[in-house]
Structure 1
Amino acid sequence: MEMIDAVFVYQMHEKQELLWHQRIHSHEAGAFEIHYFVGGSGTFTNAKNSYTIYPGSLFVTSDEKEHSITSDEGANLTYYATLLHCPEEQELFKKLEGRNPLHIGTNLRFFFEEVRDKALSQKGELRLSACHQLLGFLYNLLAGSVTERTVGEHVRLEKAIRHMQRHVFDKLSLSQIASHVGLDPSYFVRLFRKRMNTTPMKYYTSLQLEAARALLTSSDLSVKEIAAKLQFCSEFHFSKQFKQSTGSSPSLYRKTHLQLLGI
């Protein structure tokens, strides 16, 4: 059992990005993919079946099944995708695939953020934890026990994450985010750090850098223009933060990934 990939796709709308996600593709035997849409609209095609995408919808794709995503014009699709190699759980994924789309609401961002964070960890134990956490969720989903949560601290964290994602091109402050979820800034930082293993502002910066990666590979904006669009104080500061996050300069990242995409 292995988590192959876990990504967050923020507001898919650039031409090259749309072409990449609209391509028809499949995954190797034993590999299953879960898409959880939290914003925008479009069409999810799985084999010969096409489904309308709504915020809060989840789709399961079994191994070797061709699928693609088409965004409605100007819809800015936003979603999480996790790719899991788990051939021993084929029956689970097949059953869930037969129920596409599963409507689970939009208040599960925190859960998928946590899975993604663990899946990208350097620690093998956390990556394995992400697999078991996702499988547990899917079994609960199959049993019909997953509902959209409406109370508790989890909801406030999900609301904070949603607010940061929506305003990734703005310049949010800690006090603005804390105020949005109705919490004292100091308490909000402690709560966020406990659940996400980072501070709210570091997480917000990581969202900005994730948006930057998308812009570098799916737009013609210069590095300077991307830095300005994401409200970084200077191109130098943006490039420094980007290299710390990815190990590559923005220009090299763009060149390398465009080559991988065949562009």
Structure 2
Amino acid sequence: MMIHTEPGIIKRDGVYFCSSDSFTQDNLFYILWGAVYSLDSPYRVSRSYMDAFMLQYIVSGELNFVLRGKTFTAKANEAVLLNCREKNLYWADRQAVVKWFHFNGKNTLPLLNYIYERNGGTGLFKKNYTKKIEPYIDSILNEIHKKDSNVFSISHNIYSILCELSAPPAVLESPAEKTIREALSFIQSNYSKSISVNDIAAHVSLSTYYFTRLFSKYMHLSPHTYLLSTRLEAAKKILIYTFEDIETISLRTGFQSSSHFIRAFKKANNITPNNFRKVFYQKSID
């Protein structure tokens, strides 16, 4: 049963209907109908069941939803994906412009369930998703304006939308994670120079004490150990792939002297740099 109160529709482009033959219905995603509505209160749709699915894209304003047991508001540049076989309700409290279409296809339901599972279950998608899917929405609405719409193009665009929406939501980076990322980038770019933990802490605008604690918490090793490890890994590559002398390698990888480099290398690898090189040089001969 569907109760659709026409009041609240200020202007509309459509509804445009798109008929589909048996091949399309059996093998493709396809559109039933779609439109662009300009809305205001008291626009309201309450639905208990429809054998279809629906995508709504909020161009401006906002639309309120009760969907999958949750109440939420979709704002400008957000989208809502509905399984119309489930009870749903949506309405406008103020002016809004909405692009929408109903669609179907044999593989839609499992895809929709997967999308809901990956994205919190409400069907609401923020701007990071909609900026990718809006061109597909526009292409679909343009296509159904035509007398002979291209069912393969429509199917492709619906599938592209569902693929984009199936991506997991972006994980926001915390301030601490951003600090660690910036520190790691600084180390990778500057390990060959005579930098210390103090320099890294200064780069991320933290005290050495606080930075060391934060780095150790996230990386499970101290910044000094990470810096040393980065230098030693770089030195291994130079030892293997070049014939540069130990003094040059120590300078290229940020060590204060060749003796310091040799001691650190042997402590970490239980072998001197020269013997490490001989092992790999012998393997290359063999």
Give the structure with higher Rg (CA).
Answer: 2
Higher strand share: 2
State the structure with bigger RCO (CA 8 A, min sep 6), 1 or 2: 1
TM normalised by structure 1 equals 0.46
TM normalised by structure 2 equals 0.42
